[in-house]
Amino acid sequence: MTDTTTTSDTFTLGDRTVHRLGFGSMQLTGEGVWGPPKDHDEAIRVLKRAVELGVDFIDTADSYGPYVAEDLIAEALHPYAEDLVIATKAGLTRTGPGVWPPVGRPEYLRQECEMSLRRLKLETIDLFQLHRIDEKVPLEDQVGEFKKLQDEGKIRHIGLSEVSVDQLRQAQQIAEIVSVQNLYNLAKRDAEDLLDVATDEGIAFIPWFPLATGGLAKPGGKLDELAKEHDASPSQLALAWLLKRSPVMLPIPGTSSVAHLEDNMRAAALELSDDEVAELERAV
């Protein structure tokens, strides 16, 4: 049963409406985002529980594992609920733990789209994101291949990951871009200019590492004392700040623990005033 107290408000991503607090699958894999999870059964429980809590936007990538996260999503959730939107990515390869070489050759991007369709057991990928721009390949070839895949019905919408405003503008000359995914959290706000553009144009902004890989949630950390004042956890406070920051923000906190998942999802019920937002920004 869905716990409606953990369900956030919504955003329309292209033609798909999703709750703004989603789930990122990267932490379901092994150390260094490499190999299978330490606890396979718990990973499956996390995915199932996320959907029970109202999550209808799950972010993944072919490089998570590699391939492990996509396989886990299909194992746990297929056949999918009609309202579930799965976003995946291509453009980074893996040669070992923590190593992510970009490859943006059109034939490679097409191959990975086909393989993601197979692993996820989908006929169409709702949101297919270019994981990184490969500087060795013209951008028009990379986004252009995504546009061909879209025209063929293999993907519904196109997104970009870790881009500048200028790169977004170049990509928009080739195809419609419905989302951008950049490093962004309360402690790391270098992408403010991109967020402002996304907000003005109604483009989804998906912040990766929304909890600064757990650094914002550490006991005794900068958020800990403020969180106690709000009767919340540091994670909830950091996520509530993101949701407040912009109506196009779609945080995707990830975890391999059901308990942490449930704690994160309660951020949807936490409302911050403008004064509280300013206090958080001063503190971090």
Q: In whole angstroms, give the CA distance from residue 188 to residue 284.
A: 9
67 is catalytic: no
Is residue 3 scored above 60 in pLDDT? no
Asked if 231 and 206 touch (Cβ cutoff 8 Å), the reply is no
Is residue 276 scored above 50 in pLDDT? yes
Give me the pLDDT at residue 5, please: 47
Give residue 282's pLDDT band: very low, low, confident or very high (50, 70, 90): confident
Domains of the chain: 4-214+247-256 (3.20.20.100)
Is residue 8 scored above 90 in pLDDT? no
Is residue 1 scored above 50 in pLDDT? no
Q: SS3 of 97, please?
A: coil
Give residue 212's pLDDT band: very low, low, confident or very high (50, 70, 90): confident
- The chain-wide mean pLDDT, for the chain, equals 94
Q: In whole angstroms, give the CA distance from residue 128 to residue 146.
A: 8
Catalytic residue among 64, 80, 108, 184, which?
A: 64
Is residue 213 scored above 80 in pLDDT? no
Give me the pLDDT at residue 185, please: 94
pLDDT, tens digit, 9 for 90 and up, residues 133-191: 999 999 999 999 999 999 999 999 999 999 999 999 999 999 999 999 999 999 999 99
Q: What pTM does this model have?
A: 0.94
pLDDT, tens digit, 9 for 90 and up, residues 40-69: 999 999 999 999 999 999 999 999 999 999
Supply φ then ψ for residue 78, to 5 degrees: -80, 135
Give me the pLDDT at residue 4, please: 43
